[in-house]
Structure 1
Amino acid sequence: MNIPQNLIEKYNTPVPRYTSYPPANFFSADFSPEEYVKVLEESNRENPQNISIYIHIPFCPKICHFCGCNTHLTRDKNKMQVYVDALKKEIRMVRALLDSKRKVSQVHWGGGTPNSLPIAMIEDIMNLIHELFEYIPNPEIAMECHPAMLNQDYINRLVALKFNRFSLGIQDFNQQVLDNVNRDASVIPEEELVALIRSHKNTSVNFDFIYGLPFQDEDSFAETIKRAINLSPDRLVTFSYAHVPWVKKAQKILDARGLPSATKKLAMFEVGYRLLTENGYDAIGLDHFARPDDELNLAFKNKTLHRNFQGYCTRETTGQVYAFGATGISQLESAYAQNAKDTNVYVDQINKGKFTIEKGYRLNPDEKIIRHVINEVMCNYYFSWHEAEQVLKTTTEHIKQSIAYNESHLMGFVNEGLLSVTNESISVSEKGRFFVRNIAASLDPNMRNATQKFSKAL
């Protein structure tokens, strides 16, 4: 893939990542815990009926300078236990409001560093979930793991809890890069770590990498990707580093150490893309790569790929997301609701039997339409007016009205070979995939007068 320099300069502008629509910085503090109870009850009558559970563990033994997540620096096991007890209580509170016939299709643990918890605490939470919920056949149960904190016993006990997908946050194999972003490398060689996970049946391994960090360049990132290919993960993610120092003050450290330019970041993306697609992986969505027989790849080829705050998923594992823990965002059909970010506030309110919603957003009917259009473009690089009519049970004219559609807004992308537009559909080209955030923003009426701040597209 060869991306011209003029397009890099033109489209390296702040735009949403569209992990939700509207994005999280549109959420309002006016959304109350009482409103959350209402939308939880409403969600029982909405689709998808499947339940996706997200568990947020905010704790980290050290903070990586690139981190944009809600984290809390601690190794205090007593503090962790207090948090776990509150999280279990929150699970029971939400479960009481959900239809008992609904089944779980996905459980995802994120953070923070989920595997910084002692394994006995994870067992305690998962056993409660297994007790309270039923599952669809073959649910996805996944954890974002820091490889520096995994060993054989920990892996074995996670598998016994039915975890079947391990996302290893390697970030880079280059020790200089890791040292400068304050991240520990794996204690166990990655080759051995992958072998330990794969010694169990029906387990999958993902690798997560970040490009755009200090001391990374095209050659060093190529070496990282080559090593990853030799380890043969089922999926691999190359995240573009999102520099938002106005949100995460620690990221200012990286300014002083020198961040690569947009051109150098693009070179890293291109070399990773080339190496992976030449060695048995297909590009999926914005930043994922998967083996041809992987379920994400099959969903993408069938144009049924979906996305939530936890990443890409198939229609089978897609569910309304019910989030537990500090800063967790529930992603329901008609609303988003985010828990308090402060762990002490979260624990205190939950222990009083109160939901701890800090902010949220209730979608109107037009916003659900916009969400569908943007999701299709972001996930499947394709949008069909006719198919949208069937899904949304409305007319093309109504859809166009909802998104304030103006074909002239897309003509720049068309003329640059990034997009094709017909009366039937909108299709993103292979070159256009790198600018899909910009394309999605052109279909978002909120972006016409947006005042919110976003990370740059590239």
Structure 2
Amino acid sequence: MPKNLIDKYNVPVPRYTSYPPANFFSTEFDNKEYIRAIEFSNNEWPENISIYIHIPFCPKICYYCGCNTHLTRDKDKMRVYVEALKKEILMVKKYLSSNRKVAQVHWGGGTPNSLPVEMMEEIMGVLHSNFSFIPNPEIAMECHPAMLDSAYIDALVKSGFNRMSLGIQDFNLKVLENVNRDPSEIPVEELVQLIRSRGDIGVNLDFIYGLPYQDVKSFSETIEQAVKISPDRLVTFSYAHVPWIKKAQKILEVRGLPEADEKLAMFEAAYKILTQNGYKPIGLDHYAKADDELNIALENRTLHRNFQGYCTRETTGQVYAFGATGISQLESAYAQNAKDTNKYVEQIESGNFFIEKGYKLSKKEKIIKHVINEIMCNYYLSWKEAAQKFEVSEDELKNVVELKEGNLDNFAEDGLLNFNPDEIAVTDSGRFFVRNIAASFDPNLKNAAQKFSKSL
């Protein structure tokens, strides 16, 4: 990537895992608004249901983590939380149409596999007993490899899991030690073989670049080792340094974070290694094998994304989130549970939802969301198709996103996209700056006071 473009576009912009981003959510959105939003969602697209289960517990805190976590190994605390979570599922189920089916279940955290096997099985039992599923739904868990063994894998498979994401982060033990992350107990190559021996189970390996003691050479060695293991999908997350939100990240400042140029070089090195070894880039940070359903969806321009990551049209659903800090992503609203685990339990046990904040989208914002999602996921936008979806004229659509003559000229001159009155197509070079391109369709940014991480 040319340095002049890096200097020009490496500025703070939203990640656009949602629109508007989560820092626009309001505390005025309450439990009653959430119930109305659930009921309204029954008549919206997508019809399918995506379920997110948040398990906040971690045996230790990784200093880079930006997630909502709760440091504990206390099984009694976990039991109380699980009982509340099961109750919350049934509370939401009451407002959902019975003809809707689950297309996706995703467990995140925290460390979901820190939960005792029997508690995990109980939660999955509630889902299987109370919902219908589409054929071949995606049921996935983000797993800490240090806490994954043969018995836990067997239990996951028995409960219906068909994808496991292993949070490796780095193979370099010095890097892991300095971010307070335990390495895998079983060598990762053996662990992946163990998972695959249980059937047709998809395996993702997740990595982070931009941590102390990482450099281009060491991170390249990590990615080369990952390629030899041959996961179905691989993610290279850019470390988002937000110490004003996550205080533990200040420790990493003391230990020394790579300079921006070094961090970018790590990204470029990983990109080169992965694409030269048959992996196809998906979005900003994901890679998949050529025959993977995500790559096929991208080629067909039917790729979608939610807070849990990329998904196909078949597994796309409105997201209903359970557990402390879980964010539901409905077609017309977002609703986030509060973060305090103890208060979450108290509220659910009393029969009340525990919505801390949320957001109700206007038709205009749904249009902007769609435009940004198409650019971010499929690198392409047809004004005609988008206008038909929302039953407006193309001129009306362009007015909503405040597209004016000359808005896209800079991107085109820099070789980042091609456009004409009918469509926009992001170039291969433009994929690296897709957050910047997406931001050009976001009227909210003109008066935004919120902080965001840099685009690269």
Q: Structure 1 length as normaliser, TM-score?
A: 0.99
1:439 is aligned to 437
For residue 12 of structure 2, give the secondary structure of its aligned residue in structure 1: coil
| Equivalent residue number for residue 396 of structure 1 | 394
Cα shift at 1:390? 2.5
Pairing partner for 2:72 from 71, 74, 99: 74
The residue that corresponds to 1:175 in the other structure is 173
SS at match of 2:108: strand
Please tell me whether the aligned partners of residues 5 and 263 of structure 1 are also in contact (alpha carbons under 8 angstroms): no
> 1:154 Cα deviation (Å)?
0.3
Question: Is the 8 Å Cα contact of residues 15 and 441 (structure 1) preserved in structure 2?
Answer: yes
TM-aligned CA deviation for residue 41 of structure 1:
0.6
AA partner of residue 135 (structure 2):
P
State the partner residue of 2:50. Answer: 52
Aligned pairs (5 A) from 1:81-92: 81-92=79-90
Q: In 2, are the aligned partners of 1:13 and 1:457 still within 8 Å (CA)?
A: yes
Aligned to 1:198: 196
Q: 2:187 is matched with which residue? A: 189
The CA distance in 2 between the partners of 1:76 and 1:201, in whole Å, is 33
Name the counterpart of 2:424. 426
- Give the match for residue 359 of structure 2: 361
* One-letter code aligned to 1:142: A
Which position in structure 2 is the counterpart of 1:273? 271
Does residue 143 of the first structure (1) align with residue 130 of the second (2)?
Answer: no
- Partner Cα separation in structure 2 for residue 217 and residue 384 of structure 1: 40
Give the Å deviation of 1:9: 1.6
Q: Give the deviation of 1:432 after TM superposition.
A: 1.1
Aligned residue for 2:330?
332
Aligned counterpart, 2:102: 104
Q: Give the letter aligned to residue 289 of structure 2.
A: R
CA distance in 2, matches of 1:10, 1:245: 24
Q: What is residue 341 of structure 2 aligned with on the other side?
A: 343
State the distance in 2 between where 1:142 and 1:85 align: 21
State yes or no: 1:61 paired with 2:59. yes
In structure 1, C-alpha distance between the alignment counterparts of 2:267 and 2:122, rounded to whole Å: 40
Residue deviations 1:230-252 (CA, integer Å, cap 9, x gap): 00000000111111000001111
Question: Shift in Å at residue 276 of structure 1?
Answer: 0.5
Counterpart in the other structure of 2:215: 217
Match of 2:407 among 383, 406, 409: 409
Task: Provide the rounded CA distance (Å) in 2 between the counterparts of 1:33 and 1:303.
Answer: 36
Aligned partners of 1:257, 1:431: CA distance in 2, in Å? 33
Secondary structure, in 3 states, of the residue corresponding to 1:337? strand
- Which of the numbers 274, 299, 302 marks the counterpart of 1:304? 302
Matched letter for residue 378 of structure 2: N
- For residue 418 of structure 1, report the CA deviation from its aligned partner: 1.0
> Is 1:7 aligned with 2:1?
no
Q: Distance in 2 between matches of 1:9 and 1:261?
A: 13
Aligned to 2:115: 117
For 2:377, which of 357, 376, 379 is the aligned residue? Answer: 379
Alpha-carbon distance between aligned partners in 1 of 2:317 and 2:391, rounded to the nearest angstrom: 20
**Could you tell me which residue of structure 2 aligns to residue 292 of structure 1?**
290
2:191 is aligned with what amino acid? L
Give 1:260's aligned residue: 258
Per-residue deviation, 1:11: 1.4
Deviates more, 1:320-329 or 1:442-451: 442-451
Counterpart amino acid of 1:384? S
1:369-409 per-residue CA deviation (whole Å, 9 max, x = no partner) reads 00000000000111111121222222111111111112422
- Output the CA distance in 1 between the equivalents of 2:252 and 2:32: 41
Shift of residue 120, structure 1, vs aligned partner: 0.6
1:302-347 C-alpha deviation (Å, 9 max, x unpaired)? 0000000000000110000000000000000100000011001100
Could you tell me how far apart the structure 2 residues matched to 1:420 and 1:200 are?
Answer: 46
The alignment status of 1:30 with 2:28, answered yes or no, reads yes
Query: 1:12, 1:262 within 8 Å by CA — same for their partners in 2?
Result: no
Secondary structure of 1:408's counterpart equals coil
CA distance in 2, matches of 1:328, 1:445: 27
Report the secondary structure of 1:143's partner residue: strand
Helix, strand or coil at the partner of 1:355: coil
CA distance in 2, matches of 1:54, 1:280: 31
Partner-residue secondary structure (3-state), 1:22: coil
What is the rounded CA distance, in whole Å, between the counterparts of 1:45 and 1:28 in structure 2?
24
Map of 1:208 onto structure 2: 206
How far apart are the structure 1 equivalents of 2:42 and 2:346?
28
3-state SS, counterpart of residue 407 of structure 2: helix
CA distance in 2, matches of 1:430, 1:257: 35
**Once the 2 structures are TM-superposed, how far is the Cα of residue 52 of structure 1 from its aligned partner?**
0.2
Deviation at 1:430, TM superposition (A): 1.0
Distance 1:66 1:406 in 2: 40
For the residue of structure 1 that corresponds to 2:127, the secondary structure is: helix
Length, aligned pairs only: 456
Q: 1:12: how far off? A: 1.5
**2:162 alignment partner in structure 1:** 164
- Residue 386 of structure 1 aligns with an amino acid whose one-letter code is K
Contact 1:383–1:425 (CA under 8 A) maintained in structure 2: yes
Does the CA contact (< 8 Å) of 1:8 and 1:263 recur in 2?
no
TM-superposed deviation, 1:413? 1.2
Identity %: 69
Tell me the secondary structure at the aligned position of residue 85 of structure 1. helix
Structure 2 residue matching 1:107: 3-state secondary structure: strand
Is 1:133 aligned to 2:126, yes or no? no
Q: Kindly provide the CA deviation profile for residues 275-325 of structure 1, in whole angstroms up to 9, marking residues without a partner as x.
A: 111101111111110011100000000000000000000011000000000
Distance 1:403 1:170 in 2: 39
**2-structure distance, mates of 1:323, 1:444:** 26
- Cα drift, residue 200 of structure 1: 1.7
Q: Aligned with 1:409: secondary structure? A: coil
Letter in 2 for 1:412: N
